Structures are given as structure tokens and as C-alpha cells.
Amino acid sequence: MAVGRADAGSLTAVFRNPVYLLFAALGAAATVFLITGAVKFYAAVPVGVVGLLAIIYRPRLGFYLTLMAIPLEMAGKIGNILPFVNITLAKIFALATLLAWAVHVLARKTKIVWPKEVIILCLYFIAGLISLIDAQELKRGYQELIILASTIIFLFLVCNLIRKREHMTRALALFAVVSLATFAYAVVQRVLPNTEIKERIGWLEDGEAASGLEVSGIESKSIGVVRRATGTTAHSNVLAADTAFLVPILFGFMKLSRNRWMKVVLWTAVGICFAAAMASLSRTGMLTYLLILPMLLATRLLRINMVGILLGFIGFLGSIPFLPDGISRIFNPELYLSKNSVSVSERYKLWDAAIRALADHPFNGMGIGNNRGIFAYYENSWNPGLLTVHNSYLQVGIETGMIGMAAILAFIIFLLYRGQKARRIYARLDDEWGYVMSTSIMISITAFFIMGALAYDFMRIGFKNMWLMIGCLVLLHRLAHQASNSRSANSAQLENTKNI
């Protein structure tokens, strides 16, 4: 499908303003300080000083700091206000930005945007409240509602502070800079001293290491003990999935870039993503890449030729000596079968248990956050801290019943419909930037929702990066309609002029 050249929001224009170069440098510095175990004060001071001024005068710049703190995740953890409800740099920046934005609203310097997607999520929040009527663990339920509320507020902020294509390109570029720094750290984590942590199952307990090189014996009978990099995330699966979800955005930037050196930088960034996924030894990550690759090819964001195949083969051969021990975990097809993998076989048991639990609690579930109620249907003493049944839709169902499941499915269907509609509008308008960015974000989000049925709970586990992309897709739909209406109005005016 032929579309015109991008005329705004290009990646090469993002950092022309030295302010954004400074933000990128501060984000990279904060990443280095936090993940290398240095005193967090040294990272907090330079970021905090600039961030305070930015948040007071321009809430959007404060929000950029929030986005840059998100990839630090567990490394940016400062403390807890409740069990399992922690304080992080991202949350501090987000709260300050929210308050500053509210002041601007009261001063009538900006208007509130109420996306329908946020309203649907509020309905899910109400379903969560209803689910606690007869729940056994009210404390966990309240904690989960706090987490859900923070997610809704974050999406609301994205939709209100990222309003133009230039804003969106800057936000994604700044987010990518820090993300790639953390991915690079995950690659070298294996050779750094004092990074090993014990295997984590379920909820993190007080005093337990938040991130590091996880030594796992879950599949010691098949491939032995493995050392899985987690980077700055809480789990190797999250790290691998995060790298995969960023790749379509990088290819989108590559498609829009006219600068040869920028393309080289972006290809290097893709290489860092894939290397971090290898270091994680995550089958979830590999499946996500296998899901994303055909979509990239089908939309022509990625084109393969003989030169590319040859270079890729040479790169693979050159990387063999550096592949981590246990790499067969993600490249051996037999290890994706339940008979050869404890984690795969336990997933089947959990899904069966979740279906039976949903049948017994069809209306309002067992209560949001009450995932441990699954133990009445699932027997396994090795996982007392069970966090998820590894299927987002079943997880929503057993916790909030059919009411909550209907709300989440409505949210997903509505979001994807509007995203696809935006792509069609941009194609009709010959708007390359809009078409490419909506396509790349749609690929990431589609993979996110599909993998949510196989590997993780996307309503709980740390995927604020994907809620950023969801907010960007909402913006793309709004901008597409504005551009379409503007062109229609101009065409009508031109026709009236001709008639006169």
C-alpha cells in the first residue's frame, strides 16, 4: 500500500532540542546508577532537580521522565507503602506530573480528554469492586484495586499529555533509549559479579532480591540448572517480552528514517533486543518473536533479501560462542511439550483448574487479587506463592467473573477496532507517519494480547510499557479522525468555491 512521506514526528527531529538530549542523558545515567548498585541518591538528584522544574512548568516533560523511569522497574524500587504495593521512581514522577497537570486544568491552560478506553477500564474497576463482596482476602483485593487504579490513571495521563505526533515520537524515543540501556545490562548481567539471585516463585517476599541473574532449577531433569537474566525486571519472561514488544516500534522508526546512520543505530538496537531475549532463556520471549516476525513481514515493516539473509546467518555463526548455557531451552522444540517441561505441564493443570474455578464462580469470581483461591482446584506444594494461572483471560475470569471478563474483552476489541480504523484512514490520506506508527503499535499490542493467553497476566505483571503503547494507539485514532475531518472540510470548501 503506497503512502506519502512522513512530514512530522520523525525520529531524527526528536532530539534537535537540547532539552531532550539532556533527558536522554539523564535517563541513561539513572539506569547505570540504579542497575549497578550505586547509591540511588546519585541518580535521584540530577533527575529530580531537572524533573522538578519540568513538572512544575510543563507537566508533559515530567511525564517524559515518568516514561523513562518505567524500564527501570524493580531497580527503581524505593520502598513499600503496602505489601506488594511499592514506591518507585516512575510512580513518584507520575504522581507529581498528575498533580501538576491538574493545576494546569484548573488554571484552564489545558482541557481534559476522556477516551472511551479509560471509561471501559473504569467499568472493569467496578467489576473488581463487586467481586470483593464475598471474597476471602479483602486485603489483597484492595491492594489489587490500587494497582489497577494506578494503571487506569497512567493510561489517562498518556491520553492527556501525549496529544500530538511530535509528543508521541518523543515519548517512544525517550522510552526506547532507557529500555535499550536496561536490555544491554541484561546481556552483560551474566558476567557481572554479585548478580545471581535465587529462583523466585510467585510473589516477591520482603527482603528478596528484586532483579538479577535468576538461578532456576525448575527444569533440572531435562536441561539442568539454568541462569536466566532478568535485567531490571521481576522475571525473565517479562524481560524477553519487553524486548519483543519494542522491536516493531524500532522497525517503525526505521521505516520512517531517511538517515542511513540512524538506520544503522536502529538495527543495532534490534540486535540488543534479541541478545537480551537470548540471555533471558525465555520461551515466552521466543514465541513472542515468532508471532511478531510474520506480522512485520506481512506489513512490510521488515523486508528480507539475500543480503539480509547472508548477514543474519553470518551474525548467527559469530554469536554461537557467546550463547548462554541452557540456550536449548528456547531453541529445542521438544522443550515446548508438556512431557519435557515442568512449566508447560503445570500451565495445563492451572488452566484446567481455572476453568473449573470459573464454572463455580461465574458471576463475580473469587475476588480481584484473590488468585490463591485457585489452590482449591490446583494441588502443587512447590508453588505456595502462585501469582497467576498464566492466562490473562482466565485470570480475569476467576477473579472478577464473567462481568470482568466481558469488560476486558470489550476493551480489547474496541481498542483493536479503532487501531485498525486509524490505519485505514492514514492509508487513505497518504500519511506515512500515521500509517507506519499505527501499524507498528498494532503489531506490538496484538502480540501482547495473544501472548496474554499463554504466558502472563497482563492486568497485573509489570507491563506499563504496553499501556504506553495503548495510549499512543488511542492518540493515533484521534489524530486520524481529526485529519480526515479536516480534509473533508477543505474538500467541501473547495467544492463550494468552484460552484461560486
Q: How far is CA 391 from the centre of its chain?
A: 17
pLDDT of residue 254: 93
Question: Kindly report the CA angle at 355 between 350 and 358, in degrees rounded to 5?
Answer: 120
Between CA 75 and CA 62 the distance in angstroms is 20
CA dist., res. 46 & res. 331, Å (int): 43
Strands 196-198 and 213-216: parallel
User: Residues with Cβ < 8 Å from 329, sequence gap 6 or more?
Assistant: 219, 223, 226, 281, 283, 335
Cβ atoms of residues 181 and 73 within 8 Å: no
For helices 59-69 and 165-188, give the axis angle rounded to 10 degrees: 30
**Grid cell listed for 90:** 516512575
Where exactly are the structural domains of the chain? 11-490
* pLDDT for res 1: 42
What are the cell numbers at 312? 543474519
Interatomic CA distance for residues 388 and 335, integer angstroms: 21
298: Cβ–Cβ under 8 A, 6 or more apart, which residues? none
Q: How far is 462 from 479, CA to CA, in rounded Å?
A: 28
- Select from 243, 237, 244, 145 the least CA-distant residue to 200: 237
- The cell for 15 is 532530539
> What is the model's pLDDT at position 345?
82
pLDDT tens track, the chain, 500 positions: 444 444 445 555 555 666 666 666 666 666 666 655 555 555 555 555 555 666 777 888 888 888 888 888 777 666 666 655 667 778 878 888 888 888 888 888 888 889 999 999 999 999 999 999 888 888 888 888 988 998 999 999 999 999 999 999 999 999 999 999 999 999 988 888 777 777 766 555 555 556 678 887 666 666 667 788 888 887 888 899 999 999 999 999 999 988 888 889 999 999 999 999 999 988 899 999 999 999 999 999 998 877 767 777 777 767 767 777 778 778 878 878 777 777 788 888 889 989 999 999 888 889 998 877 787 788 765 565 666 788 899 999 999 999 999 999 999 999 999 999 999 999 999 999 999 999 999 999 999 999 998 887 887 766 888 999 999 999 999 999 998 888 777 666 666 666 55
Angle in degrees, CA 50, 56, 59, rounded to 5: 90
Distances (CA, A) of 187 to 191, 236, 280, 394: 9, 12, 8, 33
Chain position carrying cell 472540510: 489
pLDDT computed for residue 119 by the predictor: 93
Say what the pTM is.
0.86
Distance of alpha carbon 64 from alpha carbon 56, whole angstroms:
13
Amino acid at 431: D
Continuous H helices in 132-198:
138-161, 165-188
| Angstrom distance (rounded) from CA 300 to CA 410 | 29
3-state secondary structure of 381: coil
Please enumerate in sequence order all residues whose Cβ is within 8 A of that of 331, keeping only pairs 6 or more positions apart, or say none. 286
pLDDT at 6: 45
